[in-house]
Amino acid sequence: MNRPPLPDSPAPASPQATIRAIGRAAPQGRAGHPLYLKEMDYSIVQQCMHCGLCLPTCPTYDATKLERNSPRGRIALMRRIADGEMEVTEAFAREMYFCLGCLACETACPAGVQYSRLFEYARADIEHSGVLHTPRRDFIRTASLKVLFTNPNLLRGLGRLLWAYQATGMQSLVRRLGLTRLLPRKLREMEPLTPEVKPRFSDSLIAPVETPPAPPRYRVGLLTGCVQDLIYPDVNRDTADVLLANGCEVVTPRAQFCCGSLHAHNGELETAREMARRTLDAFDLDGLDAVITNAAGCGSHLKTYGHLLHDDPQYAERAARWDAKLKDIHEWLAAIGIAPPRPGIAPMRVTYHEACHLCHGQKITRQPREILRAIPGLELVELPESTWCCGSAGVYNITQPEMSQELLRRKLDQVAQTAAPIVATANPGCLVQIVAGLRERGCAVEARHPIALLAQAYREARA
């Protein structure tokens, strides 16, 4: 049977076509001078011998097949800028904000190119040169990066407001009445991503010092994070519980600052340095065996304080010691050896999505699996493409919704394929992204932090 020809109406662009257009975009005109790429250690960029082994692991290259959208292409552009053959152009800026910063390329790179460092310099140069400057963008960046995320009380105050909005039923009423239609398009599209804020934050859940019943084997500091503190303070509580159960005394400084990863990854290196100093000031390093983080994105940045502050005479030495003591919770538990929980928790099937900044940023892949497998009755089902980015990538899901949604779709398809009712992942960004995606699909799969599952297993262990 012959079908009638389709009517000649302009079809809406497919998400894939939109993504390809973003990857290709090369507006010509605005350009500015580099600072960071010019001054950096040139050997980092020279390390890339353009073999191309990073290409198949790069989600943006995978989507567009354009060389510029690959790590090798991006590094080549950075090298041109460092060589003074190219200015920091708007097209370069767009390219670097199309990059997820997932660091899959670092894992793939046999030559050991430190892409994460180049990525930070490039974004810092983009902000320094002002090629993306618009009043609106500047306002949003200042309000969020420089005001909200440098001021823990303000952030928590906003968190309280959001909690009240959600807890009083206002949010669901607004959603039901379709009032979100009144929001500007960008905000409207972001609205479903709004995570659920918890009524009590970490400081009211965790005492400044908590001591295990038996004499402690270690004394550790606990980082409660900023976003993590508002949305997943329960994971912080669980982390403290798990540490206590394994003989660690837990010291949790009050009203902690953002660690600065958000700033470093978004071109605000100076603010990132300031946040690093404040975080260092909050901990008495000498009295601690380790400082523990449970957020992959923070951990990967927190371990680079030594480099970040290497030319700060007052902080350089302390920052270097900090790096050595900073441990991701899974890494720490695997190193000290965990007490396996006794049986008691109901049997469950769990699949594990690897947060980019845990597996690529910190090369921690084995330990979270070991922890999950240590839970009696927990069956770990391997997730295909477990190290492929879920599209959260810091604020990428807000700045690049198309690519982010495409990666989320791919991730959720893989999760569905495992048929596991629980997906575990160790980063608040991934959790928010995956939870929002599951909600939108009406999918009953639960997203949990591995440490939350371990804490639950300790709680529900038969006495």
Partner 1 sequence: MEPLITDMIALLGRENVLFEPEHLAVYGFDGTAALSGTTGCVVFPRTTEEVVAIVRYAARHGQPIVTRGSGTGLSGGSIPLSGHLVLCLVKMNRVLELDEKNLTLLVEPGVTTITVSELADKVGLLYPPDPGSMKISTIGGNVAENSGGLRGLKYGITRDYVMGMEVVLPDGECVFLGNKCVKDVAGYSMKDLFIGSEGTLGIITRVLLKLVPRPQSRKTLLASFSRMDAAAETVSAIIAEKIIPCTLEFLDKITIRCVEEFAHIGLPLDAEAILLMETDGHPAVVAEEAARMEEVARKCGAVSVQIAQTAEESVQLATARRAAFSALARVAPTTILEDATVPRSELARMVNFIQGVGERYRLRIGTFGHMGDGNLHPTFLTDERNTEEMERVEKAMHEIFDYAISLGGTITGEHGVGLAKKRFLPAALGEGSLGLMKSLKRALDPQNLLNPGKMFDLDPT
CB of 361 to partner 1, least distance (A): 17
Q: Which of positions 110-169 make contact with partner 1 (CB under 8 A)?
A: 110-112
Our finding on whether 51 is near partner 1 (CB under 8 A) is yes
Contact residue for partner 1 among 82, 100, 109, 248 (CB under 8 A): 109
Spatial contact of 270 and 312, defined as CB atoms under 8 Å apart: no
Q: Among 92, 315, 322, 396, which residue interacts with partner 1 (rule: CB under 8 A)? A: 92
DSSP state of 428: H
Distance separating alpha carbons of residues 129 and 140, to the nearest angstrom? 18
The tokens describing 225, both together, are 């994070």
C-alpha of 144 from chain center: 16
In the bound complex, what is the minimum distance in angstroms from residue 44's beta carbon to partner 1? 10
Q: How far apart are CA 202 and CA 233, in angstroms?
A: 5
Q: Each residue of 128-147: b (16+ CB within 10 Å) or e? A: bbebbbeeeeeeebeebbee
- What is the per-residue binding string for partner 1 in 5-34, x denoting contact by CB under 8 A? ---------------xx--x-x-x------
In the list 39, 41, 46, 154, the residue contacting partner 1 (rule: CB under 8 A) is 46
Q: Which residue, among 322, 360, 350, has the nearest Cα to 451 in the 3D structure?
A: 350
Q: Which of 18, 38, 47, 253 binds partner 1 (CB under 8 A)?
A: 47
Site for partner 1 in 194-253 (CB under 8 A): none
| Closest to partner 1 by CB, 56 or 157 | 56
Give the strand order in the sheet containing 378-381: 378-381, 348-352, 422-424, 446-448
- Note the Cα 363 to chain centre separation in Å: 15
The piece of 8-16, 68-76, 235-243, 450-458 that touches partner 1 (CB under 8 A) is 68-76
Nearest to 73 by CA among 89, 100, 90, 96: 96
Which stretch, 2-10, 44-52, 168-176, 312-320, contacts partner 1 (CB under 8 A)? 44-52
Q: Does position 410 bind partner 1 by CB under 8 A?
A: no
Query: Least distance to partner 1 from the beta carbon of 42, Å?
Result: 9
Angle at the Cα of 236 (from 232 to 239), degrees rounded to 5?
135
| Alpha-carbon distance values, 144 to 17, 151, 155, 266, 272 (Å) | 31, 10, 9, 11, 13
CB of 67 to partner 1, least distance (A): 4
Please pick, from the candidates 2, 9, 43, 204, the single residue that binds partner 1 as defined by CB under 8 A.
43
For residues 200 and 412, give the distance between their C-alpha atoms in angstroms, rounded to a whole number.
30
- Residue 366 found at the interface with partner 1 (CB under 8 A): no
Instruction: Please report whether residue 425 would count as binding partner 1 according to CB under 8 A.
Output: no
How far is 361 from 246, CA to CA, in rounded Å?
A: 26
Cα angle value 292/293/299 (rounded, 5°): 120
Under the criterion CB under 8 A, does residue 52 sit at the interface with partner 1?
yes
- Distance (Å, rounded) from C-alpha 238 to C-alpha 379? 21
Give whichever of 132 and 275 is closer to partner 1, judged by the CB atom: 132
**Residue 92 Cβ vs partner 1, minimum distance, rounded to whole Å:** 6
Total number of residues that touch partner 1 (CB under 8 A): 35
- State how far the Cα of 119 lies from the Cα of 137, in Å rounded to an integer: 20
If the CB atoms of residues 126 and 451 are measured against partner 1, the closer one turns out to be 126
With respect to partner 1, which residue has the nearer C-beta, 42 or 139? Answer: 42
- Using DSSP, state whether 146 is helix, strand or coil: helix
Stretch that binds partner 1, among 76-84, 367-375, 384-392, 454-462 (CB under 8 A): 76-84
Minimum separation from the CB atom of position 222 to partner 1 (A) = 30
Q: Which helix (H) or strand (E) holds 296?
A: helix 296-302
Contacts of residue 39, defined as CB under 8 A and 6 or more positions apart, other chains included, come to: none
Comparing CB distances to partner 1, the nearer of 249 and 354 is 354
Q: Which residues bind partner 1 (CB under 8 A)?
A: 20-21, 24, 26, 28, 43, 46-53, 55-56, 65-68, 70, 72-73, 76-77, 80, 86, 89, 91-92, 95, 109-112
